[in-house]
Each structure stands twice: as structure tokens, then as C-alpha cells.
A and B are shown apart, each in its own frame.
Chain A
Amino acid sequence: MADQLAIGSRRGLKPALPLLLPAYLWLTVAIFLPLSAMVFFSFMTDLPLAGKEWSFTLGNYAAFFSQSLYSTLLFASLRLGLEVTLWCVVIGYPAAYVLAKVLKGRSREAIFLLVILPFWSNGLVRIFSWAMVLREGGILDTALNAVLPFKINIDLMYSYPAVIIGLVHSYVPYMVLTCYLTLQAIDNSLIEAGRSLGASRLQVLWRVIIPLSMPGLIAGAALIFVPVVGSFMEPRILGGRTGTFYGTVIEDQFVAVFNWPLGAALSFILLAVVLIILALAAPVLRRAG
């Protein structure tokens, strides 16, 4: 037994290579090649299409620093990411708690399905259904006016709250799932132990459950924050004129202005900023977890 193990480890990685090769090939083709093409583009003056002249430049990156618009938008997007992440925690964590610790059996399955449902529906369909709910004379407006004795006008469409609502709806399942998994793993006897030591439910939540579910909260936050900062679909459709964010500007470069080099450069700046934020947050979060 011990001999076999020793032989296995002496051979090292070699026997595993045929198994790893397809995965690495796929990674190379699917991620590395397009990404390096984009890095290449980001240093070009123009796209090398239709025989246009081009040369290498740092101008695309310089544009970010010379025009305050881009950094202002990046800041707005980071704020959006933060707000959406916070709302996802506020909504997702209690939902995950109820799923993991309160509900049992059939009712748990049913609620779980409701939480996962947005995952399975098409993103555009989801966003346009929110448009129908939020606009003036839409579902929310009509329903509220049917109930309330006085007339109010609800027109959330094309506003910052509409963008937040749409994004939170799209991303909250990530938070529910990651938190559910960590909460599920917390032994109920820990909760009972805390209570027997004189802690109220709230104290147990604060001192035992939340610290132990920190890994789930962090994973959920990372899964939400990163894509939300670069999001463009929800801001564009639900935000209208107010929905100009860093992500929509990048999208414009690719689909409207056809300035791929600038779009690529802006993307990489975003990537760098996000990585720096995650790196700065890591030690703090690791201590909390």
C-alpha cells in the first residue's frame, strides 16, 4: 500500500498529462487566444481590417487618463457593483438562512426552485419583464393604484433604481446559493450551544452563524461584484439615459463606434482595477472568514 503510493508520487505529473491535455487545449483556444488578440488590439491605432493603416500606440490607455469621463463612469460602475452586492446580501442571506435552517422537505424544494428560476430564464426576457413592471402605467403602478386610496405615479423606468432592481434580480441567486451551501454545513448543535450559553437568537446569528458563513458571503460577493461592474444590458434597457456606465461605454466601442482598440483597453483597465480591489480586500476578508 505504502509502496504503491510512493511509486505513484515518484511518477509525478507525467501519467496525468494525457488527462489534463484536453482541458489545457480548450483553455488555450477558448480563453487565451481571444484574450491575447484583445491585448494586441488594445495597443493598436485601428483595426487591421479592410487594409486600413495601423500602428502600435499607448493612446487607448492614455485616453482613459486624459478624459475624466471614463474614470467618472468607472467610479459609478464600482458604486453600482457595491450597491447591487449589498442588496444581494440583504436579500439573499436571509433567504438562504430560511432555506437552510427553517424550511424542510417539500417547502424547501419549492422555494429553492423559485430562487433558481431567474437562472433558467433568458436574461433579455427577464429585463424586459422588469420594464413592463416598472414603467408608468405598468404592472407596479397599476397594482399600487388599485390598492391605495390616493393617486400616485410610479415611474421607475429609466432610472438608477430600475437598474439596481434588474441587476439584483439577476444576481441574487448567486448569493442565495453560496450562502445556502455554507449555512447548510453549520451544525445545528452550534446554534443550540450558543443559546444554552445565554446568547439570544440575534447574538448567535451575529457571533456564530455569520462568521461561519463568511466564505459563502465572500464567494457570492465576488461572483456578483465583478460582472455587475462591467454590466451593460441592464443599465442600457432599464436605465435609459441614466444608464450610462463603464460597461455600456465599452459595449459602445465594440458594437456602435467600432473602436475595438479603445474598447479593449478600457476592458483591461477594468480588469486591472477589479483585480486590485479583490487583492486589497483579500487579507481583510480572510481575517473575517
Chain B
Amino acid sequence: MAGVQVANVSRSFGAHKALDNVSIDFADGGFYALLGPSGSGKTTLLRQIAGFDFPDAGRIAIGGESVERVPVEKRRIGMVFQNYALFPNMSVADNVAFGLSVRGEPKATIATEVQRALDLVQLGKLGGRKPHQLSGGQRQRVALARAIVTKPRVLLLDEPLGALDKALRVDMQIELKRIQREIGITTIFVTHDQEEALTMSDRIGILRDGQVVQEGPPEEIYDRPQSEFAATFLGDANIFRGDATGSGIKLPDGTTIKASTGTSVPAGAKASCAVRPERIRISTGAAKPDPANANTLKGQVSKRIFAGNNSTYFVDRDGQTLKVIVQNTGAERLAEGQPVVLSWSPDSTVLIAAA
């Protein structure tokens, strides 16, 4: 096992900077999710680490050893491709055996290792099948077994669950996480899916246009996004823009919003505040204001979407539509068009310096 250090890595295709001075430290044994919109450079970064492509500048080290001059087959990585890339001419067992057999391991060792890997992904009985006789989820697990049977130092996964339907995806997320814990391998996981990133990883890196926007544990990124992009890309957020006051911001209409988390922005500079929809209270205004929820705004319900255990209210306020999510406790239900008061705590309000 080994950690991976990516330091100041840049990679351009023609004039397009696919990676722009990217530095991330992937801790040994950690589960790291790379998240970002399409074209943000996630695959490109993974390919630099794997050695399929080489950076124009910067340094990549695996287990403390610089790998600039190390070809793919010597890097001892395991990779799971988005399309699984199983060898169609080989049986499941032969696919899994491939990495051991090119290394020249004895036949008996290969057989036991392959069986162990297939058991680990719960496909112990399907070794004799050909890849085309498997379902999508089974193929995905074969690809995983094939990647880990060689005991790589790092496991790289490029949107491995992208082709699966929702239910299977959740099953596979749990299974992948279980296997990763069991063998304790450093894992770098590329995904489009923010929920997947939040539930599975120890740390998340958000990429945008080839740059790392923010990087840290999921809770930290969710609770203290450092940019509007991070706030809206990972989860939902209501964004208010105005001028910094030192303890929050002042909106153009004079309303002040207090914020006690986030970066400090000098008074007078442009800044924004982000508030998660589930942190906002919504009421008809009849009840006494709660001093803990010092931020209040008046608005009007424009739409309500019922989603079983919760409801999302869209509230119009001074030309802006705010989103509020409330648990359905069976109590009051607010009608569309009803005037409401929104309130939330400064602790739930993140101050962000304007880009």
C-alpha cells in the first residue's frame, strides 16, 4: 500500500489546459473521490497517476517514489474502467488471472488467488463464464476482482458505477466500500455523482476546468464550501450576494445576513453567503422568532414539491427563488401563494469571498 502525491501537475492538449497546476495528497489507505463536471479533467488526472499519459509539468509519486519514468506495468496500480474493459476472449477466471499470469506466478498460486478474489466480490461460482454472459453489475465486480488480485498499491476507478441503474449502484457502492475497507487499499474514485462521493469517501476533491476548487473531508466541504461553485456543485445551496460587513453581508435592499462560518472577508468587499435548504426554517410568522435563528427573510411560497419524507418549498423573495427543505412531520402544510417567514442560524451560513 502507498499514498499518492500529485504536485503541481499540468497537462495541456493543444491550447486546452486539461489539468492546471493540480496538487493533491492522497493518503495511504484512504478512499478519495474526485468529483467535477464533465470535462473538468478527472479522467486526465487518473490517467497521469496510472501512467497512460504523462504530465507536461509537475511531479507524481506513489509510495514516496517518483514515477515519472516508470511505465504503467511497473507502477503496480489497479484500474477499473468505466466500460469495465474485460477481455472478451477470456473466461471470468482467466480475466482475473491475467495480472498474475503475466507475472509468471505458478499455476497453483494463481488458481487459489483467483478463487479468493472472486469470492471477495461474491462471484465464486461464475469463474467459467465469458464476460458477455454476465450482467452489468457482475462485470463490474469481475473488473474489480481483476484489479485487486495483483495486490496493487493504488486502486483507480473511473466512474465504475456509471453504467448501473440506481438500485444496483447503491448495492455496489456498499460492496466496493466493504472490499476497500477489507484490503485497506488507497483508492481514487472518479464520479459524477455527488451523493456517491459524499457517502463513500474519506476525502473529496472537486475539480473544475482542470483546477482543484476545494479538497477535504465530505463534511467539511459540505458545511464550509469555499466557493459558490463548491457550494452548489456538492449539494444544494441558496446563495445571497452583497457587500461584506465584517460579520456577514448586506444585501442590495439593505437586509443584513449574519454568517459565523466560512472565510473572513474585509468589510466593504463583494461577498456571498451560502445556506443549505435543510437548514432554513419556514413558518407563517405567527410564532415568536427564535433568537438562535437570527437571520430572517420574508417571502411567498411559489411552489411545493412533495417527496415522501420531505417537501421542498420554493419561496420567492425580492426576485430571488429560495429553496427550503422540510421534513414531513404531518403538521402544517403551507399553501402556494402564502406569505412566509424564513429563518436560520448564522452558524449555518457560510461566508464566501467573491471570485
Give the B-binding residues of A (Cβ under 8 A).
187, 189-190, 192-200, 203, 207-208, 211-212
With beta carbons under 8 angstroms apart, the residue of A190, A192, A197, A200 that contacts B99 is A197
Q: Is there contact, CB below 8 Å, between B73 and A190?
A: no
Whole-angstrom CA separation of A208 from B95 in the bound complex: 11
Q: Is there contact, CB below 8 Å, between B85 and A199?
A: no
With beta carbons under 8 angstroms apart, the residue of A189, A203, A211 that contacts B81 is A189
Least CB distance from A60 to B in Å reads: 46
With beta carbons under 8 angstroms apart, the residue of B76, B81, B103 that contacts A193 is B81
Chain B residue with the shortest CB-CB distance to A193: B85
Q: A196-B79, A197-B102, A198-B73 are in contact. List 5 more A-B contacts (CB 8 A).
A: A189-B81, A190-B87, A196-B147, A197-B98, A212-B88
Whole-angstrom CA separation of A210 from B169 in the bound complex: 35
Whole-angstrom CA separation of A199 from B75 in the bound complex: 11
Q: Is there contact, CB below 8 Å, between A192 and B79?
A: yes
**Chain B contacts for A193, CB-based, 8 A:** 79, 81, 85-87, 146
Q: Is there contact, CB below 8 Å, between A199 and B73?
A: yes
Within 8 A of A (CB), among B169-208: none
**Chain B contacts for A196, CB-based, 8 A:** 50, 52, 72-73, 77-79, 147, 156
Chain B residue with the shortest CB-CB distance to A289: B89
**Chain B contacts for A190, CB-based, 8 A:** 85, 87
A–B pairs, 27, beta carbons within 8 Å: A187-B83, A190-B85, A190-B87, A192-B72, A193-B79, A193-B86, A193-B87, A194-B87, A194-B102, A196-B50, A196-B52, A196-B77, A196-B79, A196-B147, A197-B78, A197-B98, A197-B102, A197-B146, A197-B150, A198-B102, A199-B98, A199-B102, A200-B73, A200-B102, A208-B89, A211-B89, A212-B89
**Chain A contacts for B86, CB-based, 8 A:** 193
Chain A residue with the shortest CB-CB distance to B156: A196
Whole-angstrom CA separation of A198 from B73 in the bound complex: 4
**Chain A contacts for B83, CB-based, 8 A:** 187, 189
**Chain B contacts for A197, CB-based, 8 A:** 73, 78, 98-99, 102, 146-147, 150
